[in-house]
Chains A and B, each alone.
Chain A
Amino acid sequence: MSDDWQYRPAADLDKRAPEQWRSLRRESGLLSWGAHMAWCGLTGAYLRAFHGFRIEGREHLPKHAPFVVVANHSSHLDALTLAVGLPARMRERAFPIAAGDTFFETPAMAAFAAVFLNALPMWRKKCGSHAMEMLRERLIEGETVYLLFPEGTRTRTGVMAPFRAGIGMLVAGTPVPVVPAWLDGCYAAMPPGSKFPRLRPISLRFGPPLVFAAAPNTREGWRDVAAQLEQAVKALA
Chain B
Amino acid sequence: MTPLHPATLGITLFLLALLVIAPVVIFVLQRLGRLTPTMRKELHARYLSWLVLVPLMVAPILMGRLTTIMAFGLLSLFAYREFARATGFFRNRALSATVVLGIALMLFAAADHWYGFFVALPSLVVSLLVIVAVFADSPQGYLQRVALGIFAFALFGVCLAHLGYLANDKNYRPMLLLILLCVELNDVFAFCCGKLFGRRKLAPHTSPGKTWGGALGAFVLTTALFAGIGASVFAGSVLASPVHLVTMGALLSFTGQLGDLVISSVKRDLGIKDMSAAIPGHGGLLDRFDSLLFVGPALFHYINYFVGVGADLPARLWL
Which residues from chain A sit less than 8 Å from chain B, CB to CB?
Answer: 5-10, 13-16, 27, 29-30, 33
Interface majority SS (helix, strand, loop, mixed), chain A: loop
Q: A30-B90, A30-B96, A30-B97 are in contact. Are A10 and B277 (CB under 8 A)?
A: no
Asked whether A7 lies within 8 Å of B97 as measured between CB atoms, the reply is no
Asked whether A29 lies within 8 Å of B88 as measured between CB atoms, the reply is no
Which of chain A's residues have a CB closer than 8 A to the CB of B276? 13-14, 16
Stretch at the interface among B79-87, B225-233, B234-242: B79-87
Measured CB to CB, the nearest residue on chain A to B100 is A30
Which of chain A's residues have a CB closer than 8 A to the CB of B274? 14
Assembled-state Cα–Cα distance A16/B93 (Å): 21
- The smallest beta-carbon distance between B279 and chain A, in angstroms, is 9
Interface string of B96-131 (1 = CB under 8 A from A): 110010000000000000000000000000000000
Asked whether B86 lies within 8 Å of A13 as measured between CB atoms, the reply is yes
Which of chain A's residues have a CB closer than 8 A to the CB of B243? none
Assembled-state Cα–Cα distance A30/B100 (Å): 9
B138 contacts the other chain (CB 8 A): no
Asked whether A13 lies within 8 Å of B272 as measured between CB atoms, the reply is yes
Chain B: interface residue count, which band?
A: 20 to 34
- The smallest beta-carbon distance between A36 and chain B, in angstroms, is 12
Assembled-state Cα–Cα distance A146/B86 (Å): 25
Asked whether B277 lies within 8 Å of A14 as measured between CB atoms, the reply is yes
Which residues from chain B sit less than 8 Å from chain A, CB to CB?
Answer: 81, 84-88, 90-91, 93, 96-97, 100, 141, 144, 269-272, 274, 276-278
The 8 Å CB contact of A8, one of B88, B93, B100, B277, is: B88
Which of chain A's residues have a CB closer than 8 A to the CB of B91? 8, 27
Asked whether B277 lies within 8 Å of A9 as measured between CB atoms, the reply is no
Asked whether B90 lies within 8 Å of A10 as measured between CB atoms, the reply is yes
| 20 intermolecular pairs with C-beta atoms under 8 Å apart | A5-B144, A6-B141, A7-B88, A7-B271, A9-B86, A9-B87, A10-B86, A10-B90, A13-B85, A13-B86, A13-B276, A14-B276, A15-B277, A16-B276, A16-B278, A27-B85, A29-B84, A29-B96, A30-B100, A33-B93
Asked whether A29 lies within 8 Å of B87 as measured between CB atoms, the reply is no
Asked whether B270 lies within 8 Å of A7 as measured between CB atoms, the reply is yes
Assembled-state Cα–Cα distance A14/B91 (Å): 17
The 8 Å CB contact of B93, one of A9, A13, A14, A30, is: A30
Assembled-state Cα–Cα distance A45/B129 (Å): 33
